[in-house]
Amino acid sequence: MKIFLDTADLDEIRRAADANLIDGITTNPSLVAKVAGKRDPKEIYLEICEAVDGPVSLEVVGLDRDTMVSEGKKLAAIHENAVVKVPLTEDGLKACRALVSAGTPVNVTLCFSVSQALLAAKAGATFVSPFVGRIDDVSGEGMQLIHQIRQVYDNYGFDTQILAASIRHPMHVVESMLMGSDCCTIPPKVLWQLSKHPLTDRGLEAFLSDWEGLGAKI
Ligand code: E4P
């Protein structure tokens, strides 16, 4: 399963990229607003693309097909690894088809149902992003959606990649893997939580204390 980092924070991106732990990045307008200040987001997008060797999702903000296609072309021109993110609306699906036909990879975002995921695949999406955490937030079962999309895509041989999004905690990542998601986009905090286990800390403490008793060096 590919791991993407869900952030526009360059320090966090470099930290994870330096450890060779990520396969790409996803951003959205809210994540960019958190870090941009007065900077032009396009500058930030270029820096992100240069920091990571893998797909970087950059989102359009237009609402109609033609504006999305025009914005998508500009975003795709920023870097060869750019993936254009469009919302799962009627116009977003039309823009997806137009961009994919022109050779631009597309991530269809804000997916909350199997029927939406079906249309994203029919529109030729490279990735579809089901928002697991936001479904859980309204008392739904986000992981069930990943499971069902996997089943539908496998039943009919769709090659759109499932990109589990809106990940809130480590078990969302683990369950995404168990459900057969192709990718999972993870906030930096959750990425580092994945490495933590109290028994690892306790075991290390005991090893070091026993070694200290030897008074030896390696
Ligand atoms: C997906 O690409 C989105 O950027 C993201 O996962 C949304 O997550 P949130 O629900 O935590 O905002």
How many Cα atoms sit within 13 Å of 164 on the Cβ side? Answer: 33
3-state secondary structure 172-184: HHHHHHHCCCCEE
Instruction: Report which of 167, 84, 141, 151 is spatially closest to residue 117, judged by C-alpha positions.
Output: 151
Residue to mutate, 12, 110, 162, 166, ligand 1, most ligand atoms under 8 Å from C-beta: 166
Q: How far apart are CA 88 and CA 179, in angstroms?
A: 22
Q: How far apart are CA 26 and CA 163, in angstroms?
A: 10
Q: How far apart are CA 65 and CA 87, in angstroms?
A: 11
As averages over each run of 10 residues, the pLDDT of the chain (218 residues) reads 98 97 98 96 97 98 98 98 98 98 98 98 98 98 98 98 98 98 98 98 97 94
pLDDT, one tens digit per residue, over 169-190 is: 999 999 999 999 999 999 999 9
Type of residue numbered 53:
D
Asked if residues 111 and 128 have their Cβ atoms less than 8 Å apart, the reply is yes
For tokens 């030896």, name the residue.
216
> Is residue 81 lining ligand 1, measured as CB closer than 6 Å?
no
> Is residue 133 lining ligand 1, measured as CB closer than 6 Å?
yes
CA angle, 110 then 78 then 125, to 5°? 35
Q: Ligand 1 atom 9: the closest Cα is on which residue?
A: 166
Rg (Cα) of the chain, in Å, rounded? 19
Average pLDDT, the chain: 98
> How many of the other CB atoms lie within 10 Å of CB of 11?
10
Percent of the chain with pLDDT over 90: 100
Q: pTM for this one?
A: 0.96
Instruction: Report which of 207, 161, 148 is spatially closest to residue 2, judged by C-alpha positions.
Output: 161
In this prediction, residue 101 carries a pLDDT of 98
Percent of the chain with pLDDT over 70: 100
Q: Which residues contact 86 (CB under 8 A, 6 or more apart)?
A: 59, 60, 68, 72, 92, 93, 95, 96, 99, 106, 107, 108, 109
Q: Ligand 1 atom 6: the closest Cα is on which residue?
A: 166
In the residue annotation, 85 being an active-site residue is answered as: yes
> Is residue 6 lining ligand 1, measured as CB closer than 6 Å?
yes
